[in-house]
Amino acid sequence: RQLEEKDNQFSLASVREFLTREEDSIVFSLIERAKYPSNFPVYDPSYLAGAAFPYHNHSLVDIFVRESEAVQARAGRYQNPEEIPFFPESLVPPLVPPYQYPKVLYPAAASVNVRDTIWKMYFDQLLPQFTSKGDDGRYALTAAADLVCLQALSRRIHYGRFVSEAKFRDAPNNYSSAIRAKDRDALMRLLTFEVQEETVKRRVEEKAKVFGQDVTVDNGTSTNESSRPQYKVDPNVVYHLYGNWVIPFTKQVEVEYLLHRLD
Ligand SMILES: O=C(O)C(=O)C[C@]1(C(=O)O)C=C[C@@H](O)C=C1
């Protein structure tokens, strides 16, 4: 019954609430990753050159994500339609009995994804922008932090499927002709709300400031009132992460979903 209620409340407003909460997870995950320097060996396949088959010639992070996903698949993570794995080919059957998740997504469109695009963006573009150069040997912790970042970004971006579903249900007639004509540009125009995008970007920038500043207890003896706050992750990087990648990728997922919405 609880599920039906939840399903009944499904709307663009509830979807946007979910996206807002995911911002916290994304910002926190970046802050955690920023604890460690770039730690190049984590990403360098030759670091594991001496490892046994099938691990040799893979990067440590690659193996870490793949095997973590398999463990999480056992625990039922990917039964949840909100979750999309990076390595679907290495998943294992869940140990847990099925949970009745609300059936919100349109089945023919539910599997659209941009996992490879997210993977590439994270390692090639984003990581160098918010980690300091260096190597402190904490490779397992680094890979674990990367996993959490990747999963948070993926959940947010792939939630575009739910956003589209809400928009389609609100106004099927507005979308149907563009879907039938496979008109990506028209779909993109229909689903874009520029004011909302600006609100999101400004809010995540603010969250990076609030969550990522050093907290001190002022005992009244502080003399350096004028010192500028230091942030663990540059709020501007988070603003541009959303502007350049998170929002555009979400919109890409939204368009792809809609293209299959009448299959
Ligand atoms: O909130 C929406 O309407 C969305 O589609 C989500 C989102 C976003 O990624 O934050 C994407 C496209 C819109 O232009 C505004 C915001």
The pLDDT, as a whole number, for residue 5 is: 47
Best residue among 250, 254, 258 to mutate for probing ligand 1's pocket (most ligand atoms within 8 Å of CB) is 250
Task: Return the pLDDT at 53.
Answer: 86
Q: pTM to 2 decimals?
A: 0.94
Site of tokens 């907290």: 215
Mean pLDDT of the chain: 94
pLDDT tens for 43-55 read 999 999 988 888 8
Nearest CA to ligand 1 atom 16: 197
- ipTM over the 0.85 cut-off: yes
Indicate the top mutation candidate among 162, 247, 254, 258 to test ligand 1's pocket, ranked by most ligand atoms within 8 A of CB.
247
> Does 237 score more than 90 pLDDT?
yes
Beta bridge partners of 213: 231
| Cβ(27)–Cβ(209) below 8 Å | no
CA proximity to 78, closest of 160, 11, 8, 158 = 158
The structural domains of the chain, ordered by start, are 2-214+231-259 (1.10.590.10)
Look at residue 92 in the predicted model and tell me its pLDDT: 93
Q: Is a pLDDT exceeding 90 seen at residue 218? A: no
Say if CB 156 and CB 22 are below 8 A apart. yes
CA-CA-CA-CA torsion sign (206, 211, 213, 218)? positive
Cα–Cα dist 127/124, whole Å:
7
Whether ligand 1 lies within 6 angstroms of the CB of 109 is answered as no
Question: Residues 261, 179: contact at Cβ < 8 Å?
Answer: yes
114 Cα–ligand 1 center, Å: 16
pLDDT in tens, 121-150: 999 999 999 999 999 999 999 999 999 999
